[in-house]
Every structure is written in structure tokens, then in C-alpha cells.
Amino acid sequence: MSRIGKLPIAIPAGVKVSLLGSLVTVEGPKGKLSRDHLGHVGLDLTEGEIKVRALDSSGQAGAYHGLYRTLINNMVVGVSQGFSKVLVISGVGYRAEVKDGLLLLNLGYSMTVEYAIEKDLAISTEGPNKIIISGADKEKVGQASSEIRSIRPPEPYKGKGIRYETETIVHKVGKSGVK
């Protein structure tokens, strides 16, 4: 039995969970998320909580037990509180702005890079050097932040580029200038 999978998922007030066959739908103030689950796990919906159980004792069922518990918990947290990631831009002349559903990035390239914002994500800028990505789906928030970071990843000599707010860049010494 999975240590993570056996924990019940508490359903906060204002969140509705429905099970229809293998489809789990979670609806709350921040949006509505749906996910299909495989036949290795079963879901029990009681008053105020969801329990995920493995249907057999195989290793595959044990792995899916913890996985689906975490995925459903992320859905519940996403529609009630939401998820967000913060990206920091560092470099002379590097900046970002949001305009007409596009994230416009000036990152030292000859052209401005345009990133289309998905309809279920909210991207805002806090000054020219901070990008905040938020939404109900943890996977989409993480994917969007990863795609934006990959446009200009931080380089190890001066640290210029886009990095996560919690990320630390280990700087290299570079050439010493000794002949």
C-alpha cells in the first residue's frame, strides 16, 4: 500500500467533486478540472473527503495508488486556492510585458519574443523583471513556466536569463586571464 495513496483528500467548502465512471470532475471557485483514471485504482467519495484505493496488490496498482491520490489532491487544491510560479528576468535591457493576450519578452534577441497566453492561465508582470504565472491546473502552470524559462535559460557566467524565483544559479569563475 502506498504511503501517500492511503491518505484521504479533504474537500474544502465550496468545492464539488463528482465521479462518473472513471472520470473525476472537481469544480470550485477557481475553475473546473476533469481527469480520467485507470482501472488499477478505485475512488470512494464520502462526505467531505475522497479516498483512493488500489484494486489489487500488484506493483503497478501501488504506483497508481499514490499517483492518482496526488493528481486528485492537486485538482482539489487548484480549484480552491490555485497555483502560481514566479519567474525573474535578469540582464541589462531584458524585460517583459503583457499586452493583448501575449507575453512580450525582450531578451537580447533581434526581435521581441511573443508567448501566447492560454485561456485558463493568468500571466502578469510585476515590474519589467518579474513574471507571475497562475492558474488552477498545476501541470499547465508548470509547463507554461518551463516554456517561458526555456526561451532564455540563465547562463552560468553572469546569470543573465530567465530563472525561477527560488532557483539559485551557480556561477562559474570564467577565464582567469593568466598567460
The pairing of strands 41-46 and 49-54 is: antiparallel
Bridge partner residues of 8 (DSSP): none
- 158 and 87 assigned to the same domain: yes
153-178 confidence digits (pLDDT tens): 999 998 899 999 999 999 888 887 65
User: Is residue 76 included in any domain, yes or no?
Assistant: yes
Contacts of residue 108, defined as CB under 8 A and 6 or more positions apart, other chains included, come to 91, 93, 94, 152, 160
0.85 exceeded by the pTM? yes
State the average pLDDT for the chain.
Answer: 92
pLDDT in tens, 81-108: 999 999 999 999 999 999 999 999 999 9
pLDDT at 88: 97
- CA gap 162, 153 in Å, rounded: 5
Average pLDDT over residues 36-48: 89
37 lies in some domain: yes
Instruction: State residue 177's pLDDT score.
Output: 61
In a domain? residue 31: yes
Q: Which of 34, 50, 80 corresponds to the end of one domain?
A: 80
Position 50 scores a pLDDT of 94
Task: For residue 32, give Cα distances in angstroms to 21, 68, 125.
Answer: 18, 17, 25
Find the domain containing 108 and state its range: 83-164
Q: CATH number of the domain that 144 lies in?
A: 3.90.930.12
Query: Could you give the number of structural domains in the chain?
Result: 2
Query: Is residue 177 a part of any domain in this protein?
Result: no
How confident is the model at residue 36, as a pLDDT?
A: 93
Q: Answer yes or no: do 90 and 63 share one domain.
A: no
Last residue of one domain, picked from the residues 80, 97, 132: 80
